[in-house]
Amino acid sequence: MKEIKAYIRPHRIANVLQALRGSGLCDLGAGSGCHNITVVQVLRPFAGAQPSQQHYSTELAEAVITEYKLELVCADDSADALSDIIAQAAHTGQPEAGWIFVSNMDNARKIS
């Protein structure tokens, strides 16, 4: 199994979720494809973003940008296709619009 983590600009996250849903690779009703999809809002310091995208975090005492972190688990043979779907849907045309990381997952256990 693989774990995909993607850091996506706020104005693109809805498109990414829609693209994943529309791909047929995340059909949770069929019990296959991607699992445990989660989305959390995160703050990224040290970002080289345009000043208009940055704001000051009093908690971190840093300039930050707000992004969404998408996480999902998938079969090994689906990881490349899912990464491509995320990259396409998250594309902004800016030099750095986010990141996608794919990791091997050594063990996964369902809690029953």
DSSP annotation string for 42-68: EEEES----GGG-EEETTTTEEEEEEE
pLDDT at 55: 60
**25-47 per-position pLDDT tens digit:** 887 665 567 888 999 998 877 66
Q: What is the CATH number of the domain that holds 10?
A: 3.30.70.120
Determine, yes or no, domain membership for 98: yes
- The structure tokens 């959390």 sit at 40
Contact yes or no for 7/78 (Cβ under 8 A): no
Handedness of CA 106, 23, 26, 100 (dihedral sign): positive
Q: Give the C-alpha separation, 108 to 92, whole Å.
A: 33
The structure's pTM equals 0.83
* Count of beta carbons in the 10 Å neighbourhood of residue 31: 7
- Average pLDDT of the residues of the chain: 85
Determine, yes or no, domain membership for 110: no
Which H helix or E strand runs over 88? helix 79-90
Determine, yes or no, domain membership for 47: yes
Give the structural domain span for 30.
2-104
Helix, strand or coil for residue 35? strand
Share of the chain above pLDDT 90, in %: 49
pLDDT at 45: 75
* Structure confidence at residue 97 as a pLDDT band (50, 70, 90): confident
Total domains in the chain come to 1
The CA-CA-CA angle for residues 96, 21, 67, to 5°, reads 30
